[in-house]
Amino acid sequence: MSTSFTRTASDVFLESLSLGGVDVAFSVFGTDHAGLIESWAKHEATGDMPKVPRLVLCQHEAVAMNGALGFAHFSGRAQAVIAHVDVGTLNLGAGLHNSMRNRLPVLIFAGISPWTEGDRFGGRDHYVHWMQDVYDQRGSVRQYVKWEYEVRTGASFPAAVSRSLQIAHSNPPGAVYMTAAREPLEEAVAEYTYPTMPAPAPTVPPDHILQDLVTRLRQAKAPLLVTTSGGAEPGAVEALVAFAETFVVPVIEIRPFHVNMPSDHTLHQGYITDAKTDLLEQADLVISLDCPIPWVPVIQAPADDAQVVWIGIDPVDGRIPMRSLRGDMFIQANSRETLNALTRLGRSTPAINEVGLRERWDKLAASHKALHETWDKEASTDTLTVAHLAKLVAEICGNDALVINETVTNDTRVLRQLRKRKPGTLMGEAGSGLGLGLSAALGAKLARPDADVVCLQGDGCYIFGSPSAVHWSARAYDAPFLTVILNNGGWRAVARSTALMHPDGHSAQAGFPEGRFAAPLDLARTIEAAGGIGLTVNTPEEAKAAITEGLAKVRAGTSVVINAYVTD
């Protein structure tokens, strides 16, 4: 029986993805995807069929998953990931964690073992179809996704796709997971209608809550705003700048996942991760704006008499099982629109002490200047430190470059040198699913093909990132990008964590060998197998030359990896 020229559920599924705004399907195929493969080929060969997503083959599911997250981050739209039954689902791995913690939408589709044992088209015809039959495939991802569903009839695909994308884009955004066996994917389907179901519109607090907040802000003598993802939406950075200026509120970014505020703005007061800051200690009003962890209690917490207000799309972070950080008010609302509303109201509400506001501005201006002077000194070294290397990247690649920052324990030092100013040009890592960076850079380049894309990461993250598979996809789909590895020869986070808990322990006395890579790899060589260029550097001069050359090669169409041995 042939279905090559019959409209099948596979056709309807792929066409529904396009109707839902999906541009790319990052795919790792298996025996469960015969109908989809035939459908893509049919659409390619037949010029008058509806549009379907671009097929991007990946050689590992981690590449597909994190590639889709990178695309979503820089486009604002969920893309599709096609995984192979239970084993491919398990290979999605830490990417599922990244989607949840980084609040990025993605639609994952995985086949399941055929239901029937030979008595229906699409039924089991391989030994492995029995081996891949498990009791609850969807259960393996349930705690990481917002929605999971099995499509049992071909006619259900349009509604299932629309429903899944609606949930994926609803706040907080995240992953959705859909499965189907081969039998429904091969069903013949007559004409269909795609039922468009958009995500809910942004919400804003009621007037009395806004007025309460403005009163608190006007009365505060030392307010502080901390954020991780406040700049997620278009216009959000501008909204935060206007808000901060209206009320003269300093802004600190805590492990930023986006550019939240231009680093050169007077009220930008730096980046911190697991560190103390005088501004938090002195604050009488703390606003946590889309910031899941605004402080670490064993390090520092707000003063007992400070007011704490949480604002964001999920201010209670219900998917974190335990978080007892205190708050006087939790406001679930769209951050951008809430800031805009507060600014409008604040501009019509006179300040209680104009002289005090000017003095606060002047004090913050001096603090801002001192911070940048300190950061400049950190990068002024004769050896290739993390700060020096990051400053070279910033100077050579420019502020328009899309930067994926997966430098883990070095991320704050890197951010202080990148000093990102332009909205939508940074992707950090809110979670801890290491290996995100390389594939996210691939997705970023596919989403923004005219942009320079730079991936910064440690040597451990580079290895976690399935580099051979990523570099193959980048070459195959003409998506070159520059990778700079901050190579410190191991897992700095592991050594640092152990040192904090057991500073005089046996591991410390041995030099923390559990966090070191005793047998070094020539990481610059991996990309050569995919036709790219690998460079190794040890000095500032070598790094400057390599970054300059690497960026030129990338712009000419060839991916480049720079393996930089840093001294700290």
Mean pLDDT along residues 489-497? 75
Same domain, 359 and 435: no
Say which CATH number the domain at 457 has.
3.40.50.970
Angle at 89 between CA 159 and CA 73, to 5 degrees: 70
Q: Which long-range contacts (CB under 8 A, 24 or more apart) does 300-308 make?
A: 300/276, 302/326, 307/216, 307/220
Assess whether 418 and 542 both reside in one domain.
Answer: yes
**Is 470 part of any domain?**
yes
Q: Same domain for 529 and 554?
A: yes
pLDDT band at 521 (very low <50, low <70, confident <90, very high): confident
Is 216 contained in some domain?
yes
**Res. 4: pLDDT tops 60:** no
Mean pLDDT for all residues in the chain: 95
Mean pLDDT on 447-473 = 97
Q: Which of 122, 153, 185 is the last residue of a domain?
A: 185
Answer yes or no: is pLDDT of 2 > 50.
Answer: no
550 burial type by CB count under 10 A (0-12 exposed, 13-18 middle, 19+ buried): buried
pLDDT tens digits for 58-100?
999 999 999 999 999 999 999 999 999 999 999 999 999 999 9
- pLDDT, one tens digit per residue, over 296-333 is 999 999 999 999 999 999 999 999 999 999 999 999 99
In 266-401, alpha helices (H): 278-282, 335-347, 354-379, 386-397
Same domain, 359 and 419: no
Strand runs labelled E in 190-232: 223-227
User: Helix, strand, or coil here: 226?
Assistant: strand
Same domain, 355 and 391: no
The answer on 481 and 506 residing in a single domain is yes
Residue 162 pLDDT exceeds 90: yes
Domain co-membership, 33 together with 149: yes
Binned at pLDDT 50, 70 and 90, residue 3 comes out as very low
135 lies in the same domain as 37: yes
What's the average model confidence in pLDDT over 257-275?
95
pLDDT of residue 501: 86
> Which residue in 338, 79, 94, 107 sits closest to 233, CA to CA?
338
The answer to whether 193 touches 46, Cβ cutoff 8 Å, is no
For 8, which DSSP code? B
Please give the average per-residue pLDDT across 403-426, as a whole number. Answer: 97
The C-alpha atoms of residue 71 and residue 428 are separated, in whole angstroms, by 14
Residue 562, exposed/middle/buried by CB under 10 A (0-12, 13-18, 19+)?
buried
Looking at the domain assignment, is residue 199 inside a domain? no
Q: 531 and 385, same structural domain?
A: yes
The pLDDT tens digits of the residues spanning 531-562 come to 999 999 999 999 999 999 999 999 999 999 99
Q: What is the token pair recorded at 2?
A: 């042939």
Domain contains 1 = no
Boundary residue ending a domain (345, 367, 389): 367
CATH number of the domain encompassing residue 231: 3.40.50.1220
Q: Which residue has the higher pLDDT, 119 or 341?
A: 341
The residue from 185, 219, 246 where one domain ends is: 185
Task: Identify each DSSP E strand in 141-250 by its residue range.
Answer: 147-150, 175-180, 223-227
- Same domain, yes or no, for 320 and 389? no
Label residue 119 by pLDDT band (50, 70, 90).
Answer: confident
With 50 as the cut, is the pLDDT of residue 138 above it? yes
- CB proximity list for 446: less than 8 A, separation 6 or greater: 24, 56, 67, 71, 477, 479
Nearest to 148 by CA among 169, 171, 179, 172: 179
Q: Do 554 and 446 fall into the same domain? A: yes
Q: Identify any residues that bridge with 486 across adjacent strands, giving them in sequence order.
A: 458, 564
In a domain, 350, yes or no: yes
In a domain, 276, yes or no: yes
Measured distance CA(213)–CA(280) in Å, rounded: 19
Over 471-499, what HEC string results? Answer: HHHHHHCCCCCEEEEEECCECHHHHHHHH
Q: Grade residue 492 by pLDDT with cuts at 50, 70 and 90.
A: low
Boundaries of domain holding 244: 207-367
Look at the chain and report how many structural domains it folds into.
Answer: 3
Any idea of the CA torsion for 523, 529, 531, 533, to the nearest 10 degrees?
20
Please report the pLDDT score of residue 5 as a whole number.
58
Residues 357 and 391 in one domain: no
In a domain, 341, yes or no: yes
Residues 6+ apart with CB under 8 A from 352: 218, 219
**Considering the domain boundaries, does residue 200 fall inside one?**
no
Integer Cα distance of 136 and 134 in angstroms: 6
